Amino acid sequence: MSESPNKAAGAFAPLRQPVFAVLWAATVLGNIGSFMRDVASSWLVTDLSASPTAVALIQTAATLPIFLLAIPAGVLSDILDRRRFLIFVQVLLAGVSGTLLVLSHTGALTVEYLVALTFVGGIGAALMGPTWQSIVPELVPRSDLKSAVALNSLGINIARSIGPAAGGLILASFGAAATYGLDVLSYVFVIAALLWWKRPAAVDSGLSENFLGAFRAGIRYTRASKELHVVLLRAAVFFLFASSVWALLPLVARQMLGGSAGFYGILLGAVGAGAIGGALVMPRLRARLDADGMLLLASLLTAAVMGGLVFAPPQWLAVLMLLVLGLGWIIALTTLNGVAQSILPNWVRGRGLAVYLTVFNGAMAAGSLGWGLVAQQVGVPATLVAGAVGLVVMGLVFHRVRLPAGEADLQASNHWPEPLLAEPVAHDRGPVMVQVEYRIRKEDRPAFLEAMKRLSLERRRDGAYAWGVHEHTADAERVMEWFLVESWAEHLRQHHRVSHADADLQAEALRFHIGPDKPQVHHFLAL
């Protein structure tokens, strides 16, 4: 009990930083406006078309751009001025809502316009997500970073608890134009906060990445990170099946529960309130369950709500069920995002999180469209049952695919010495071949090669696009490791990317090296 006050103080410590507090509050306000817009769009499509496919298509249009553009957005967040980039995104989103306002006010809004503008709004969300997450370390001390990430999740769920309910009530009372107008106003506050923030100019180290190079580096890291693969697999499975309840919720509210636009907003608000409540109980849950147990619990809770909605319960009971859905949803989101954050080093964090967002939104987009098509054929109740059963079965099956612990020290070790140069080398010169010459006893060869397999993934994560090990034909103890890097600048970046955990992998291989000197390292440039 004595630790609770300290934990509470730590949880809200980032709000003591004025810039973080202002931007956090502005973002909460902006997200409230976005949820109001989404509620209006999701409800209006049921007025314009009774087709489940058309309803599900709105969800697909909102999430598909994030699936397509999250990785490029992550790259842009690393190479552009993030403050100016965020302002541009906010102007784009305000333009979307302003267009929806005009079309709805004049009665010219159609399903096609609604889907197209929702898609453009999804583009803005795709650009916004990784960029906002990337600026958080700039706004708070390192000791407050985890608390700041948690506050971001809390802010989203505060907006989720207020925005949908307010949007539904405003939609029912004043119409779609008023709802979209308030969303436009929310972006004004966010833009003002970003203009107020005086972000220090970035220092040019001479090793800044261009778009294509940064994109390739992010893809190389993703391909070589086995831990990230596990997170992406578990996220894809969960969200693919859980998306069914989100895609069909407007039809559940309207057709199965007999609710109005205001009731639909209350249901979504209940999800947000349940998520806030979940954030309060999660420390106790984490004390009893590991990450895999938390994700299984989220699957069971979500499936239980989906199964309960099949019976078309009274509206008050449905609201209580959606509170439970919010609990399950925040458990899944926080668990998966937290594990992803813990396994990504700072230099590739934006791009790694962008890949995670790509999988998350791709699963949501594909699932939403797929479940909508299924509901078109078999009906909403049967589709919810299928989604719930699939979520439970897949949750149990993939529970054996353990999530990484995320306890490795990913801070840069900076233990590689600077390469020797006969003369200066242009940064764009390449490819570069790096050779490391070891002397390994024959009896140690199998254990050494096992260590090198693990080390090869580190080389590829940090910048190598090819890697291999060869032995000398005239000397069985002489073994050469080699890897290729696309340019001299990329190799210099590689020097700064090697973490303490990577250094441990290298030390594991080095313990098999015999001889008084360290392994010889050679650098070769293509002619």
Distances (CA, A) of 225 to 97, 229, 230, 459, 517: 39, 6, 9, 11, 32
Task: Walk me through the domains of the chain, giving residue ranges and CATH numbers.
Answer: 12-197+212-400 (1.20.1250.20), 432-525 (3.30.70.100)
Q: CA nearest 249: which of 38, 55, 20, 519?
A: 55
Distance CA 151, CA 139 (A): 13
Coil, strand or helix: which one is 479? strand
Q: What is the pLDDT, as a whole number, of residue 6?
A: 45
| Confidence class for position 92, pLDDT limits 50, 70, 90 | very high
Q: CA nearest 384: which of 305, 297, 272?
A: 305
- To the question of pTM greater than 0.85 for the whole model, the response is no
Distance CA 335, CA 286 (A): 10
Residue 500 has pLDDT above 90, yes or no: no
Q: Which of 294-303, 374-383, 425-434 has the highest mean pLDDT?
A: 294-303
Distance CA 491, CA 279 (A): 42
Say which residue the tokens 């895999």 belong to: 292
3-state helix, strand, coil in the chain (%, to 5): 75, 5, 20
Query: Are 76 and 131 a contacting pair, CB within 8 Å?
Result: yes
Task: Give pLDDT tens digits for 113-142.
Answer: 888 888 998 888 888 877 887 777 778 776
Distance CA 222, CA 233 (A): 13
Q: What is the pLDDT, as a whole number, of residue 196?
A: 92
Residues linked to residue 285 through DSSP beta bridges, in sequence order: none
C-alpha dihedral, 301 to 303 to 308 to 309, nearest 10°? 120
